[in-house]
Amino acid sequence: MKRLILILIPTVFILILSCSKEQSFELGLTTKASGTLKNSAGDCDTLDIRGTYTEGVALTAANNVLVAVTVDVPGSYKITTDTVNGFSFADSGFFAATGTYLVTLKGSGAPILPIATPFTVTFGSSFCDFSINVMAGSGTSNPNTADTAWMFNEGTAHYQGHVDSAVIRVISGIPYLKIYGKPVTNDTTFYVQLMQTTPSPTGSYATNTGAAVFEFKTGGGATIYDSRQNDGTNITFTITNYNSTTKVLDATFSGTAKDAGTGTKTITAGKLKIQVE
């Protein structure tokens, strides 16, 4: 009888120990880690951005961002960035103990535009910002930088140039596409404003209805040609195509505009090919 007791006691002890370990492991996995992305001074540590980023090229394992994380409470974690310009970064796992860790955020997606792309990485209530420069893809370029991003004729005069910015701005609850441009000589300025509910609709926008504004001025701000609502002129802009992925917009425009005096000029052969930022 005594021998039986000696055999059973170790067996029961092993079963209890096994169950205790399993329960502790499961609880650890369900505990969320907490900590910060910032150092003791409250600043974001330097982020290590690795890999090259090219317009239209899908990210690989070589595209990642190394971040420093100070862990106060061990447990499972998920560290992510927002998705901007078609790509993002993220990583998840388990911190077994407190301390400082280097975490590799893996990239996914493919950059849409060849622009400087800002990101915010978040862990708990802490966040840090960084930016990645996306290069133009092979055989592609930003049409805004072309000398033919905008063009038009007035009589025998021809004007053309690049676009400095093409952005959506909300004014009093109404979104407008605002396009600013210059010629290579930088001695004039080109400005178009189109009222729209989204940056993508094809269709027509006329200055005499208030849906569009056209301005062409000297570098000093003096009017050369101008067309807007209630001035007796009208220029119609027609968006013929919009690619929601690349945000490239094609449009034509023509009509009449005021000159620097009281005369009316005819604008012909107007074209736009731009990327909306």
Q: What percent of the chain stands above pLDDT 70? A: 86
- pLDDT, one tens digit per residue, over 191-235 is 999 987 555 577 899 999 999 999 999 988 999 999 999 999 999
Q: Is the pLDDT of residue 8 over 90?
A: no
Indicate the average pLDDT of the chain: 84
Average pLDDT over residues 97-107: 94
Return the C-alpha torsion angle 239, 163, 84, 139, nearest 10: 90
Among the three residues 84, 114, 133, which one is the final residue of a domain in this structure? 133
Q: Does one domain contain both 223 and 166?
A: yes
Q: Does one domain contain both 116 and 158?
A: no
Q: Does one domain contain both 164 and 81?
A: no
Among the three residues 133, 165, 180, which one is the final residue of a domain in this structure? 133
Among the three residues 133, 162, 188, which one is the final residue of a domain in this structure? 133
Of 98-107, 112-121, 132-141, give the lowest mean pLDDT range: 132-141
- pLDDT bin (cut points 50, 70, 90) of residue 4 is very low
Q: What percent of the chain stands above pLDDT 90? A: 54
CA gap 277, 275 in Å, rounded: 6
Task: Check if the beta carbon of residue 37 is closer than 8 Å to that of residue 69.
Answer: yes
- pLDDT bin (cut points 50, 70, 90) of residue 43 is confident
pLDDT at 27: 44
CA gap 204, 191 in Å, rounded: 17
74-108 core/surface letters (b: 16 or more CB in 10 A; e: else):
bbebebbbeebbbbbbebeeebeeeeebebebebe
- Residue 114 domain flag: yes
- Residue 51 domain flag: yes
Q: How many domains does the chain have?
A: 2
- pLDDT bin (cut points 50, 70, 90) of residue 272 is very high
- pLDDT, one tens digit per residue, over 46-72 is 678 999 898 888 999 999 999 999 999
Q: Does one domain contain both 109 and 53?
A: yes
- Residue 194 domain flag: yes
Q: Give the DSSP letter string of 80-96.
A: EE--BTTEEEEEEEEE-
- Residue 196 domain flag: yes
Q: Does one domain contain both 152 and 271?
A: yes
- pLDDT, one tens digit per residue, over 11-40 is 443 333 333 333 334 444 578 999 999 888
pLDDT at 59: 94
Q: Which range marks the domain in which residue 60 is found?
A: 34-133
Q: Does one domain contain both 185 and 262?
A: yes
Higher pLDDT, 243 or 160: 160
Q: Does one domain contain both 127 and 192?
A: no
Q: Does one domain contain both 113 and 158?
A: no
